[in-house]
Amino acid sequence: MKSALFLLFVTIVSANFETNPDVTHLTDVNFQTWRQEHPQSFVLFYAPWCGHCKAMKPAFSEAASTLPGKFAAVDCTKEPVACRGQAPEGYPTMRYFSTATWSDKDEFEGGRDANSLVKYVQGRLGVAE
């Protein structure tokens, strides 16, 4: 019974991540355009089968709602062109990009909760908490 409830919870939370308008889901088609229009961005590179990615989605979605227009996600199993050059060594990989060319990128290695994500992005943006 507990495992069924957990599975239901994960399914509901994943649906929120997928439908949250504050998380831009990048594709091979929109990746370059979005990148140029949002030079300062925090991007989650993930694989849907990854348990750590599934666990990360609720916090990422919550953080995205705090700072709209700064959070994006790429499903690397469906969008190989968008993931190419980012070379995620594992999933999830989160990176903050600070230029339109995205040559300046920092891999996020902090806490996996929404508050840690928001504080990190605010710090990179120079925004007071």
Catalytically annotated residues: 50, 53
User: Of 11, 9, 127, 10, nearest to 69 (Cα)?
Assistant: 127
**Spatial distance between the Cα atoms of 26 and 75, rounded to a whole number of angstroms:** 8
User: Of 63, 73, 70, nearest to 118 (Cα)?
Assistant: 63
**Spatial distance between the Cα atoms of 55 and 112, rounded to a whole number of angstroms:** 9
Compute the C-alpha angle 106/101/26, nearest 5°.
Answer: 80
Backbone angles phi, psi at 105, to 5 degrees: -135, 140
**Spatial distance between the Cα atoms of 119 and 129, rounded to a whole number of angstroms:** 7
